Chains A and B, each alone.
Chain A
Amino acid sequence: MEGKNTNFLRSALKAKEVGILLILVLLSVLIQLKNPIFFTFSNLMDMGRNTSYTLIIAIGMTFVLIAKGLDLSVGSLLAICGLISALGMQGGIPVVLSVLLGLLAGAAFGTFNALCIVKLKIPAMIATLGTMYMARGLVLVITKGQAVYPLPDSFTAFGKGSLLGIPNVVLLAVALAAIAHIVLTKTTYGRKVYAIGGNAETAGFAGINVAKITASVYVISGVMAALSGIMTAARMGSGQPSVGDGTEMTVITAVIIGGTSLNGGAGTMLGTILGALLMNVLSSGMNLVGVSAYWQKFVMGLIIIVAVGLDQYQRGKRRS
């Protein structure tokens, strides 16, 4: 029994996520020393809530990056799908159906991305960049720059609500991350996602339908972006046209800090969770410590370089 425990400890220490976990802990301790508000329940829940909106999209992005793809459209999809749900509710469609409508829209945009990439062979970066502008444009056309509100109370109540003190959105994000972890590590589908990201040609020769799996990750990404958009609308009580601007970069950063490789074939959900957390602890921590907003972007950039640099260094060491 003891042997098993030490084995577990040893493999846990060897895990790739240890580095980023250490940074996260260290950072938290530093912030706490400067400002004891950090480790209060309400602040932690606040950070958890903020992290969750990023994390939900990052779950989809992890699938995309593992499959050696890229999805720049998530920020715009967040906006348009949240908006579609909000418009549905204003138009008298029941809340649950409106939410479904928003998710469906996410799936439809994801499918559009997938078709451009798989059928038209447009590089993922270009295809999703196009979708990003088109979706953002549609948002502005529909709203003419105006927010859509008010939204039904039952909807906003869910967005702002909590269970046993834990915000609903946190519970949702954690549950989805857990499911995504299981899908990636335990199912044949997950294995195929890693395989096409690791080497699409080999995967094809092994009988994997590369086009189908590639398409699927963009649909997942679209739905996740939609869900995050709907939860954002529920929290704000309105559909905002400018919401999610630049979110794609935050999300991609979180996933990459979490150890997922842009070269495809590698990455974990645990890493993505830690990456999303780190991004958030950092920004809220800097506020708590009183770092000027001007410096915050700089520090964020520095952290990306340090985190990915450390990861590369570790990989190099493991290889030799």
Chain B
Amino acid sequence: MEKILELKNVSKSFGKVSVFRNIDLELYRGEILALVGENGAGKSTMMNLLGGVYPCGQYEGDIFVKGNVCRFRDANDSKTAGIEMIHQEISLHTELTVAENVLLGNWKESRGLIHWKNTYEEAEKYLKKVKLDVEPKTMAYNLSTSQQQLLSIAKALATNPQIVLFDEPTSALTETDADNLIGIIKDLSKNGISCIYISHKLEEVFALADRIAVLRDGNLISTYAKEKVNVDRIIEDMVGRKLEEMYPKRKLPIGEEALRVEGITIPHPYVKNKNLVEDVSFSVSKGEILGFSGLVGSGRSETMNAIFGSLKKSAGVVRLEGNPVQIRSAKEAIGMGIGMVTEDRKKTGIIAPMNLRENMTIASLDMVSSGAFINKKKEKSISGEFYEKLSVKANGIEDNIMNLSGGNQQKIVLSKWLMKDIKVLILDEPTRGVDVGAKVEIYNIITELAEKGIAVIMVSSELPELLGMCDRIIVLSRGRVTGNIGRDDFSQECIMRAATGVETWGI
């Protein structure tokens, strides 16, 4: 087989911090190579290096494309060499049409003007390749997250690349959409396009890859042909130790009811007489971990936001320890002992210009101040305590949060609530974009919270995580509760049946 890409003895460091060392890696024509490793292992940096983000001269060693040494000065050089990148965070021009996005900058022209008919036709060609069934004239902002991800791929294909780099393309997708995407990537490889695929989801990796390479702490630990390796082995290589138990679930006595929600209805923000969430009721008890499953658009996050007071509901009652409460803002929710880790860490979880200490105490300023003045000593000691306790990997509590990996950022976001005296903690996708090692740490934290008698609500798109961690799972489908499943009856199948609205369970 033809060697299409080769890295020889490549090392990259930022100042004194080495990201990876002496990497030798090959990619063959039409092959899918999965690159796995914990956050901070150096995967994304390696992708960025191949994508020309870190130009030649900022790394050591050589990159060869089809046997020729390449010295990329910028992303354009890399594109010219036939390399395209699909980023974890979808970056599209949402105010443009689908077709304009696909052919961005290469619109069909005639006499200096854009020839729209040809542009739409050309775009359609690439939309078909990714099985994206939308009108080329649709505005990109009308597309769902999964459709946008497919659109990014169509856009990448429009330059006829030979190598496509995927950096966790499914992290924002539900399982069904992810499966669809995997099919599309397989098609690409059948057409002779080589792919490097980064993912934390090992099931995906095994479903997709021809070979699997494991990075740990900047070293290439191992490379396997998929047939010759199993999940346990890969995880061991990734974390560098035996992984005894992924989910530290402990059977706990379940206490009194902490939170009860009755008949919550949330109207659609734009469409009249349509509800995003309709008549949703459930309860969660002290020490219980209640899972929330459902496909994208099922109204999980909206329900949580309504409980937390950040989204308006048109009907419904929230009871806290039996008493009906009015929650009109996040401030009131927090005042009543409810905490929430939101779905989108970058957008609503962290404050980028702030350091770890400031991020951790932002919801607890009352606790670390006397009167109007912040007590720096107290603030430092409390944030330092949780920094140690959650073994955050960073240069101390004064480090900027943007220097941290996803998993460590998530620990900081969690600590925001851990330092408060809360009764109910809502976790919306708590392990999204988090590597295996940090995931286990987060599961441990969640278990500990339940042991302390906190009622935990855990919304997740990853079924194994819900099955592993929860006492009970509520399934939503198109804004309604379609399942209320106890741990003894857990199975992927019954959840998926309820989530797709095929049948209801336990209600």
Q: List B residues at the A interface (Cβ < 8 Å).
A: 14-15, 308, 310, 329-331, 333-335, 340, 342, 347-354, 358, 362-363, 365-366, 369, 372-374, 376, 416
Contacts and interface: CB of A to CB of B under 8 A. Distances in A.
A314 B295 CA distance: 45
A192 B351 contact: no
Contacts of B334: 206-207
A258 interface: no
Interface in A263-298: 263-266
A189 B366 CA distance: 11
A206 B362 contact: yes
Contacts of B329: 207, 209
A245 interface: no
A115 B376 CA distance: 34
Contacts, number: 82
Given A206-B363, A207-B331, A209-B331, A199 B374 contact: no
A188 B348 contact: no
A153 interface: no
B358 A191 contact: yes
B396 to A, nearest CB: 14
Given A206-B363, A320-B14, A186 B353 contact: no
Q: Which 6 A-B pairs have the closest CB atoms?
A: A265-B353, A198-B351, A206-B363, A207-B334, A207-B331, A199-B351
A187 B335 CA distance: 20
Q: How many residues of A sit at the interface, in one of the four size bands?
A: 20 to 34
Nearest to B335: A207
Contacts of B372: 187-189
A194 B354 contact: yes
Given A187-B372, A195-B362, A202 B330 contact: no
A304 interface: no
A204 B365 contact: no
Nearest to B13: A320
Contacts of B342: 205
A198 B352 contact: yes
B347 A265 contact: no
Interface of A: 186-189, 191-192, 194-195, 197-199, 201-209, 261, 263-266, 320
Contacts of B308: 205
30 contacts: A186-B373, A187-B369, A188-B369, A188-B372, A188-B373, A188-B374, A192-B365, A194-B351, A195-B354, A195-B358, A195-B362, A197-B353, A198-B351, A199-B348, A199-B351, A202-B348, A202-B349, A204-B310, A205-B310, A205-B340, A206-B334, A206-B362, A206-B416, A207-B329, A207-B330, A207-B334, A207-B363, A265-B351, A265-B352, A320-B15
A198 B348 CA distance: 11
A202 B365 contact: no
Q: Of residues B308, B333, B365, which shows the largest number of chain A Cβ atoms within 10 Å of its Cβ?
A: B365
Contacts of A189: 372
Nearest to A199: B351
A69 to B, nearest CB: 15
Contacts of A187: 369, 372-374
